Amino acid sequence: MTDYKDKILKLKNEVQQHLTEELLPFWFDRCKDDVNGGFITHFDKDGNDTGVDEKSMLGQARCIYSFASAHRAGYGDGKCLAYAKHGVDFVIEKMWDEEHEGFFWMTDRKGNVLIDEKIIYGHSFIIYGFCEYTLASGDPRGLYYAEKCFDLLQKYGADTMYGGYFEMFQRDWTLKGPGAAGGDRKTLDVHMHLMEAFTTLYECSGKEVHKRKLLEIIEVLTKKIIHPKYLTGVPQFTADWKVAPQIKFDIIWGWDRFSEDGIKSSPEDNTSYGHNVEFAWLLMHAIEIADIPFEKYKKIIQTQFDHALADGIDWEFGGVYVEGSHAGGVTDREKEFWQQAEMLIALLQACIEYGPAKYLPVYENVHRFVFDKMIDHKVGEWIPLLTRKGVPIWGHMSHNWKINYHTLRALVQSIERMNKLLA
């Protein structure tokens, strides 16, 4: 273990240096909107404000989470918490719908509403970020609004016939139409992030109802959303949990790449290495918070790692591929920032659970690709999308969907797990 500890310590120092000297300063120097409140989230490849006049509820909530979690982990000398509060103030004042409740999806920089729809993906991050803020600060407003969102989800979003949650609503919580409107679809992405949100909600509130709904959504994920044979994640479903072609929604809350007709290639045989391992480590965290025996979900968790390591790791050029088939074989060999970020956390969690012999070399592979190819060290943030060999495809540093949530969380969570391994 001594040899492993020397390696881990060296890797940890590199992570810590990037976090404290590059990534946090990038966001401290740019994102706080002192004129209008909230956060500016659109930066070009050089880190300059692009001037895009919008603020998404999702981007604001994710920034709140990032700063609150960094404060809880001991970073920023109070500055992270001040930034988190700055975001909470704006979101409550400008994005909360007093008439119908819930949070608007999009405003301009001043807080004038641009899109008034109620999108569950965004509300999952309100719950996640606001609870993290209350845990960091003791400010009861975070938990108060998180619980209101949770209650709205149970009232309007819960599918009492087939289980899980509907995801796309009009301002008054009327379910949106089918197809690209998204009213007839359920996704792995939303339900995984609701699990993440309910975990932190239960950690923050300690209420039995929050634990019960956390256990319920874990059952949905493990019984409905993973492939019945291969146990890997399936992206999209109809309301009654039939596998559906992966389509692009009218309200975009991610930057998955689609063909011109808005349909994903190989829609029914398509799984994300990043989502699978993110699901694995989030599930491990959820069952720890909920005090559930690891053995109950051991096979499912192990399968996510086995599948990702079998095909998802690029041993020639480094890093994690985007997607592949459930049965095996890679379908998208590009390298996207968030899959790398989630793989770093997951592999260190696997080192803790199963030992470093198998998983630490894989972590080193992904770590080196991130630190040598994906991070723009002069600017301080991660390039969003690279070719297999590490050549930039997308050049921006941030927009509403690519902010500091995956990158900052990856570093904070990685250091926490490295410290456990070193101890």
Q: How does 16-41 read in b/e, with b if 16+ C-beta sit within 10 Å?
A: eebbeebbbebbeebbbbeebbbbbb
Place of tokens 């190819």: 373
C-alpha 133/C-alpha 65 separation (Å) is 7
Q: Find out whether 56 and 41 touch, Cβ atoms under 8 Å.
A: yes
Q: Give the contacts of 217 (CB within 8 A, at least 6 positions apart).
A: 164, 191, 194, 195, 198
Domain boundaries, the chain: 1-30+226-235+270-422
- Give how far Cα 185 sits from Cα of 48, 106, 235, 256, 289, Å: 37, 21, 10, 16, 29
Average pLDDT per run of 10 along the chain, which is 423 residues long? Answer: 88 98 98 98 97 97 98 98 98 98 98 98 98 98 98 98 98 96 95 98 98 98 94 94 89 57 58 96 98 96 96 97 94 96 98 96 98 98 97 92 96 98 95
Q: Find out whether 109 and 33 touch, Cβ atoms under 8 Å.
A: yes
Q: Find out whether 421 and 359 touch, Cβ atoms under 8 Å.
A: no
Neighbours of 181 (CB within 10 A): 16
pLDDT given at position 3: 82
Place of tokens 């968030």: 338
Query: What is the CATH architecture assignment of 1-30+226-235+270-422?
Result: Alpha/alpha barrel (1.50)
pLDDT given at position 262: 47
DSSP annotation of 321: -
pLDDT given at position 391: 97
Residue 271's beta-bridge partner residues? 324
pLDDT given at position 261: 45
